[in-house]
Amino acid sequence: MRTSEGPMPPSCLRFIWNEYLLENLEGFVHSRWILHIICGFMSQINTSVFGHPIYFTLIARRSRNFAGTRYLKRGINDEGDVANEVTIEQIGHDASTTLHSSGRYTSYVQLRGSVPSYWSQDITTIRPKPQIRIDRATPYFIPAGMHFSHCLKRFGSPIICLNLVKSKEKRRHECLLTDELESATEYLNQFLPPEHHIQYKYLDMAKLHRKQDDLISRLERLAGECVQSTGIFHSGQEPYCHQLNPHQDYLNLKGYGYHDGFVGRSQTGIIRVNCVDCLDRTNTAQFIIGKVALGYQLYLLGLLDEPHLPFDCDTMRLFEEAYEDLGDSQAIQYGGSTLKLDKRGEDLSRIEEQTEKLASDADDFASVAERLAENLSTSEEEGSLSLQYRVHNNEKKKSVCSVVEVCHVPTGEWVQKPTTGDPPLGVRGYAAAVIRNEIFFFGGYCGHSDCYHNSLYSFNVDTFNWKELWPTTSHHGPMMKSGSSMIAIKVKDEDYLAVIGGFGSSSNNTPPQPGAQYSESYGYQRCNEVHMYRLKTGEWTSPTVTGDRPPPINGLTLTSITNTTAILFGGYDGERWSNDVYVFEFTDTSVKCTKFSNPGESVQWPKERSIHSSVLINCSSGPHILVVGGFGTSDCWLLNINKMEWKELTNIPHSVTDREYHSLSVWSETQTTHWIIEFGGETSISDTRFIEIISSTGDLVVQSVLDINKYQKRRIQDAVGKWMEEGSVDLTVTRVNMLGAPGAGKTCTQLLLLNEDPPIHDTSTPIACPAVRATRVAVCDKTIWNRKECVTKISPSTPEYYKFRDAMSLKITFEGKEDSLHLINRYTHIEVYFTGPTQHCPLVRKLLTTAIDNSSDAMHLKHNYVNAFACLSKRNRCYCIVRPREGGHIVNCTVCSVSAAISSDHWYWFESGPVENDNKTQIKQVNDQSSDENLQLDEKPQKSDLHRLFTSSAAHYSTIGTALDVDVTDLLHSPMAASDKLILVFQRWIDSNKGVTWRKVLQVCDDYPDQLGRVKADVEGFLSSDSARGGSRRGGPGSARPTQKYCAVI
């Protein structure tokens, strides 16, 4: 299959069997060199209908998703892909016109595929009909829902599901599949609009095989209904004869017709046919459907007076042979042998009788074994298919974990974070545990046939880096499994991971653990293994297990209570669900198990369950375990561990309790307030819920259950309420989208209010509050402030800062004395006025900057604010930025070429303030930050000074040139000495006249401390020398120094 230039449509990728082999070539070579290969069948028939040359083309394309061979690939996978999925299209072309662009075409598409459920057949015994088994119950039919959703996206509606599997048997065999399919369609239709319902149709061909004429007629009637529901594709104009005298069946043909705004007709929807293997019976039904569609195709081409074609004609005989060849090819690809059934059902009775005879005749049993052995030998073919389209350990599956979702609990905000390192496959059913800043992941199910894992990975939450600790292997270690549980324990100051239980394949797995038990059913097994992973040595160990060891189980929860104890609850052992409680006590070499069962009578005890979730809550009354949801339940329970007593939490919404495979985490905000974060699950509701549980009189009570929007609003209200408490110094700043440009007079609909009259005398000391344009003090709800609005009482003589409507005042208490803090939003910056003594100014500044830092971290914002004062220059409206530096601070103006001198009054905000000596006189502890240094930093250095200072580091000329944005390419291979190259670097930099200042020189030294650390000391020593200061004192513009007080801004 060769495609045109451009990207492959996503719907076509499922048919490209060499996609993995070509993925490294796509985009690097011309598309004409790319050969896409499909697996299927193609046949073309050339015939003449009343003198018109007609070409019929039959194409079958097999999907590579969940591909495999008979008995080894059955049912569906977790992505909604079914086994033996084949799309069949029959195309009719009137070749009277040779140009393809103006030709007339008709087409009809059908689909076949396995029953969309988790099922398989027992191939360990040799029998004519291996027993069908349902491997996994899916009460919400999520995989089937995904499958039909894919069909709706690809073909539209209606989706007509034609089931040919038996519904009644003396020994339940095929009818298991019928029950699954009927239940799935009935359940899914609850959530679909009536016009898009899945149309389930059933026909028991085995029951009707003795009435062959009735079988064919029943199939034709059913096919006619289906074809009329989906319509036929036709590329040309409606034949004029049909407009004059249309056939009644033609008038009932649905789909998009000629009168819906475009030329031709379009098929909408698909007929999906299945039996057990999707071979013999399926091919018979699809042939009859194709025969009915062929009649409509010839009718739309204007070659028939009615849309019906009899069996007894040359065209039908050719068409029948083509479908027979198609069926044989699909049977060989999937089952290893040709069809056992004629398309018209003529040999169905004979085949059924032969099968029954073989099942009872011992003389012919050997032939049955031989036939099945041939089919089972296709496992080698299965392996080659896996190699072709790489279903295991591929980059696509690893990409699932290359980005993680992180919830910042104080704000309720979810963000995506990229990861590094070697991530695990995107498996399900894994076990996880936490040790300090690392999360450990064990095992899981990969999503395709019997692919379970026993790998162990760690994820560092600080660096977001993945690391593989133990690869998946069948030679040693725990069983390759999913549905196990893992906790972190600490014994003798050493960290361990303990893994218990699980479910996996019984073939090609690890050696059994001594003392462990395994229960096998239908090719799968559960275990009660107990393994411990010692982080120090990176090895798995098998501890000695004593006491009441639980049975082989999966879907349990194991909750850590202390460093060496844990509690196991619930699970499924293959026959029943459990509600038993087991207490595990660990040492470095042993585990003791103690069982607590439901005592019955009037004692409260939760129902049996599996795939639930649990979490530990530590409170003043002792540790408790919260259990939520699970298979077969919709409730919430608390276990008091000290008393071993259960209590059901009532009035919990179903959005919390009606979940499976979900996760629970706990955040203890205070000793009495605990937030439970619930996320995910295989149910219709899987978003985040926040459950607030408080300790009240020694008991735990559910205070509220919030979705993420209500939780975020609640967090803002709590933060503002705390901020407004009298005497509080824990401020919070949040980001608000402004409704207008900065300075336009608009910020947000909620305004900040003053709560007290302004000071009578302007004795307060101004301070610049750190801010950014979109970061400001925000009010969520005006009513929660409980403050007095004084804006209307302001007199014209009020100081300027009190005229602003976006302002607020706070009371701050220092050593029993109450002072006021006034905050004013100036849109481009925030001003803060403090009425207290100057010695408290550094503390106030630290309070504000810490509040903004904390809020920026909470919102994942950069700390992109600065401290500044209003520039003393009258020419420019700019800021003098104060930056910290070792030993003090420096000031640089944002616009002025030379920063103005800052008086000592401004430095109150950056010093420790006055202190009293023994004589009760104040001594000012101030770093004398001279403006001469600031002036010198912005001066242009001389080449001779640069060469003298950097001579010892001449070997790093390339690094220096790159840092100064100078081209040094031609110097790399020059025979000149390094000192001469360094002179050229500085000369080029000076000639460029781009930021040529001593400040830039120091910045380069800071950027490369290992290479230029010594040079930095020499440069700073030079700048502080008299020879360096002399240049800045020769009538420079910074010589004038006002001594009055100035206002500080940001």
Q: Which of 730, 830, 834 is nearest to 772 (CA)?
A: 830
Q: Is the pLDDT higher at 868 or at 987?
A: 987
Angle of CA points 872, 873, 877, to nearest 5°: 100
Backbone angles phi, psi at 227, to 5 degrees: -65, -40
Q: pLDDT at position 161, please? A: 94
684-697 confidence digits (pLDDT tens): 677 899 999 998 77
Q: Please report which confidence band the pLDDT of residue 171 belongs to, taking 50, 70 and 90 as the band edges.
A: confident
Tokens standing for residue 871: 């520039």
Q: Which of 985, 951, 992 is nearest to 971 (CA)?
A: 985
Return the SS3 of 5.
coil
**pLDDT of 682 over the 80 cut:** no
Q: What is the mean pLDDT of residues 409-421?
A: 85
Return the SS3 of 993.
coil
Contacts of 100 (CB under 8 A, 6+ apart): none
707 neighbors 687 (Cβ within 8 angstroms) = yes
Tell me the three-class secondary structure of 277-312, residue by residue. CCCHHHHHHHHHHHHHHHHHHHHHCCCCCCCCCCCC
Rounded (to 5) percent helix, strand, coil in the chain = 30, 25, 45
DSSP designation for 631: T
**pLDDT of 172 over the 90 cut:** no
Count Cβ atoms below 10 Å from residue 756 Cβ, excluding itself.
Answer: 13
Report the b/e string of 726-754 with b at 16+ CB within 10 A. Answer: eeebebbbbebebeeeeeeeebeeebbbb
Q: Is the pLDDT higher at 512 or at 928?
A: 512
* Mean pLDDT estimate for the chain: 75
Tell me how far the alpha carbon of residue 611 is from its chain's centroid: 21
Q: pLDDT at position 378, please? A: 44
Q: Which of 538, 578, 537 is nearest to 556 (CA)?
A: 578
Cα–Cα distance, 364 to 15 (Å, whole number): 40
Q: pLDDT at position 605, please? A: 94
Q: pLDDT at position 915, please? A: 33
Q: Which of 52-66, 283-297, 712-726 has the lowest mean pLDDT?
A: 712-726
Q: In this structure, what is the dihedral angle of CA atoms 147, 152, 158, 161, given to the nearest 10 degrees?
A: -10
Tokens standing for residue 1001: 């020189």
Percentage with pLDDT > 90 across the chain: 26
488 neighbors 436 (Cβ within 8 angstroms) = no
Q: What is the mean pLDDT of residues 448-465?
A: 88
Count how many Cα atoms sit within 13 Å of the Cα of residue 55 in the half-sphere of its side chain: 15
Count Cβ atoms below 10 Å from residue 506 Cβ, excluding itself.
Answer: 17
> What ranges make up the beta strands (E) of 24-181?
40-49, 52-62, 86-94, 104-112, 119-121, 132-134, 159-163
**pLDDT of 466 over the 70 cut:** yes
Q: Which of 503-512, 774-783, 868-877, 1025-1034 has the lowest mean pLDDT?
A: 774-783
358-403 confidence digits (pLDDT tens): 344 434 444 444 444 444 444 444 444 444 444 455 666 777 788 8
**pLDDT of 178 over the 80 cut:** yes
Q: Which of 221-225, 606-610, 938-942 has the lowest mean pLDDT?
A: 938-942
Q: pLDDT at position 7, please? A: 59
896-941 confidence digits (pLDDT tens): 766 666 666 666 676 643 333 333 322 233 333 344 455 567 788 8
Q: What is the mean pLDDT of residues 230-258?
A: 77
Domain ranges of the chain: 39-381, 617-722, 724-852, 931-1033
Q: Which of 229, 263, 244 is nearest to 104 (CA)?
A: 263
Q: Please report which confidence band the pLDDT of residue 34 belongs to, taking 50, 70 and 90 as the band edges.
A: confident
Q: Which of 577, 686, 679 is nearest to 632 (CA)?
A: 577
Tokens standing for residue 555: 């879907």
Q: pLDDT at position 858, please? A: 60
Q: What is the mean pLDDT of residues 961-975?
A: 82
Tokens standing for residue 163: 């089931």
DSSP designation for 7: P
Q: pLDDT at position 159, please? A: 94
Count Cβ atoms below 10 Å from residue 966 Cβ, excluding itself.
Answer: 21
658 neighbors 683 (Cβ within 8 angstroms) = yes
Cα–Cα distance, 489 to 433 (Å, whole number): 10
Q: What is the mean pLDDT of residues 619-634?
A: 90
Cα–Cα distance, 781 to 775 (Å, whole number): 18
